[in-house]
Chain A
Amino acid sequence: MSIGVNLPPFLQQLAEDVKRVDVRGGTVGECLEELVGRYPRLKPRIFAGDGRLAKGLSVYINGENAYPGELARPVRDGDNLHLAHLIFGG
């Protein structure tokens, strides 16, 4: 079972410049836990102190926004997750 996690440009530099990481997990939260286990510098950028998703970060499952309840969303083998900072700048 393999889930692809695609990192936005800003997080790539905290993960040895990789753009995509293949992980395992049954939910978005489990996948992201494995991701930060492999790249600990990502942890404070992905999870807030209370274990929820960091503010300003959005998760997409196969292109669909996983909000609300992102971390509990189930994922399946072959799914693609995208993390994105949807803060926009103006």
Chain B
Amino acid sequence: MALNTGRLLRVDLSGGKVAAETIPESIAADFVGGRGYGIRYLYEELPPGIDPLGEKNKLIMLNGPLAGNKAQAVSRWMVCTRSPLTGAFARSACGADFGAWLKFAGYEVIIVEGKAEKPVYLHLTPDGCEILDAGEIWGQNTGETQAWLNERHGKNTRTACIGPAGENLVKYAAIVSDRRTAGRCGTGTVLGSKNLKAIAITAQRNVQLADPEAYDKLAKEQVNIIKNNGAFQSHKEWGTTATQDITNGIGIYPVRNFRYGQHIDYEKITGEEYRKLRTGDMGCYSCPARCGKVHTVASGIYAGAHSEGPEYETIWAFTGPIESSSIEASIAADQLCDDFGLDTISTGGCIGFAYELYEKGLLKKSDTDGLELTYGSHEPMVALVKKIAMREGIGDLLAEGTMRAAASIGKGAEACAIHVKGLELPAYEPRGAKSQGYNYVTANIGANHCYGYAAQDIFGAPFPRPTDRFSEENADVVIFNQDGTASKETGIVCGFSGGWGWADELFGKLLAAARGVKDFEDKDYINKVGERMFNLERAFNVREGFDRKQDTLPKRMLTEPLHTRKAPGEGQIVSHQDEFLDKYYSLRGWSKEGIPTPEKLKEIGLDFVLKDMPVK
């Protein structure tokens, strides 16, 4: 069985050069692939202190060792870079077919360096990579861009691209492929800063596995496990378009910029209401779930709006922050975000921030280009999406994200900026699901829901142990979730498939068959890789100046009681953050300041990091 570590494509936009490299066995052994490769290369190659939007930043696109084959829900792809929104490590994942196509072209990693003098795109095939002129598509939206590239390079082409938001350097611009997005942390902004409009891949299916026979046998086993699993069937039926039924029910659906935990007109935004507008479904390569539910608005002021989505986070982003009950507006806003290439979560968060400032008189009609930002009023929300993408008027300020916008406005606006490390919070109220909240606090990319999803608090998952969702004594569970997620993201496993019953038993075996490394069958080995990845990401942030000071929820969660309206949790605040961090750091093997200790770094094979860590 031949070792298969994967290949890397290095693209130097400044010099106009491309080169292929083989990934060393030592990196494959210690970091497996996917996000592991991402942080390993980023840490080694990115000097600390560089401008995230400068020529020296690098953007790494990755698939995983399992991508592009018969195994299900493992063909996602990912971007790692230094975030222009947070200044921290960035990781943003995406579905559709692009991850598989990258594998078909023969690569697991693309490292983009430098900056092109004028707009360009990459065209990648199994025979090579060209840097081509993108003048004709600069300024076009993501759908138009993909259509243009398909026309030029043929139907076997898949593209990841930016829209006008990335070109305009909106701090939370996304990279879009088909109608899926690598949304978080401003990865599209980095692409825009490099004048790189798109990466188009033309290729056909081919197998790159160390042991194809063993792999296919495991993939069949996986399909047999999945097909009758109730969680899978539910996901196939609903996607995440009904998750709000649960989160609103238990009082953790953030409303009015995270002041309430339930929507006052919830019955208008249920999963069933979205289902009435459903007109189809879409899926990712080699996944039977087809969880992207397509919605179309037939009448009213948003007639014609059409989107793959909104899914749960986006449903929330365009109903919760401003307490709108217009599902039609949420579909229109989702479509605009996909077209312009915007992260829906940060976009919704920034708009909710603006509405609260308007309520408090910190923004006036003269500041908002005449828009009246009153709760429940959705037309200004949809207008703001475009303004943000194009940096028009008030949109120019909001395009900076809540942290920078609040600092610019002053006058107490910081109290309304709901972010961790600069990344806007997603759709789970921390005061009603505190392990989820502490995941936001300690996640290396800032407030992200799927960096260590607390299914224990939210859905009652009993592993590694059950939790009380209002308790702040679950540091061990937060670590379990974060390291478990990291280990699965060596193969960029779809997080949704975690509940389908296959991963614990088969993930490591699939990795072993794909790579030809027997060690990967050992769950402890893979879990240790996850811990190593998480610590290296933390070390990356420490090297950039992060420590305990940035590990905090927004002040609102620490001082203002949650109002749930009817659900349990009324009056909850997060009151023991310092004690939580002490415990979390201790369990991690970090100092009181949140710095990985030399002992821990040596234990997990990160000796090369020692020289970069301050003594605190």
Contact = CB atoms under 8 A, between A and B. Distances in A.
Interface of A: 6-13, 17, 52-58, 60, 63, 65, 67-68, 82-90
B229 A10 contact: no
Contacts of A54: 230
Closest 5 A-B residue pairs measured CB to CB?
A: A8-B460, A86-B499, A56-B234, A82-B462, A89-B243
28 contacts: A6-B460, A6-B466, A7-B460, A8-B459, A9-B459, A9-B460, A10-B250, A13-B249, A13-B568, A55-B234, A55-B237, A56-B233, A60-B462, A67-B229, A67-B230, A68-B229, A68-B501, A82-B466, A84-B461, A87-B234, A87-B235, A87-B238, A87-B240, A87-B246, A88-B498, A89-B240, A89-B458, A90-B311
Contact of A55 (B233, B313, B449, B457): B233
A10 B498 contact: no
A89 B234 contact: no
A44 to B, nearest CB: 13
Contacts of B471: none
Given A58-B499, A89-B240, 9 more contacts: A17-B568, A53-B230, A55-B230, A68-B228, A68-B229, A85-B460, A86-B459, A88-B496, A90-B311
B455 A86 contact: yes
B143 interface: no
Contacts of A83: 460
Nearest to A62: B462
Interface in B454-475: 455, 457-463, 465-466, 469
B275 to A, nearest CB: 14
A60 B238 CA distance: 23
Interface in B500-537: 501
Contacts of A87: 231, 234-235, 238, 240, 243, 246, 459, 496, 499
A58 B230 contact: yes
Contacts of A58: 230-231, 499
A57 B225 CA distance: 16
Contact of A88 (B230, B469, B499): B499
A10 B249 contact: yes
Contacts of B498: 86, 88
B261 to A, nearest CB: 12
A13 to B, nearest CB: 6
B427 interface: yes
B569 to A, nearest CB: 9
Contact of A90 (B228, B466, B496): B496
Nearest to B314: A90
Interface in B228-269: 228-231, 233-235, 237-238, 240, 243, 246-247, 249-250
Contacts of B234: 55-56, 87
B589 interface: no
Given A82-B462, A84-B460, A87-B459, A10 B246 contact: yes
Nearest to A11: B460
Contacts of A68: 225, 228-229, 501
A17 B455 CA distance: 19
B459 A84 contact: yes
Nearest to A81: B462
A89 B247 contact: yes
The interface centre, meaning the residue of B463, B495, B498 with most chain A CB atoms within 10 A of its CB, is: B463
Contacts of B462: 6, 60, 63, 82, 84
B463 A60 contact: yes
A89 B450 CA distance: 8
B27 interface: no
A82 B462 CA distance: 7
B567 interface: yes
Contacts of B499: 58, 86-88
A55 B463 CA distance: 20
Given A9-B458, A90-B311, A85 B230 contact: no
A88 B496 CA distance: 6
B453 interface: yes
A60 B499 CA distance: 12
Nearest to A48: B230
Identify which of A6, A58, A83, A87 gathers the most chain B CB atoms within 10 Å of its CB.
A87
B465 to A, nearest CB: 8
A42 to B, nearest CB: 13
Contacts of A17: 568
A67 B230 CA distance: 9
A68 B500 CA distance: 11
Given A68-B228, A88-B495, A90-B312, A13 B459 contact: no
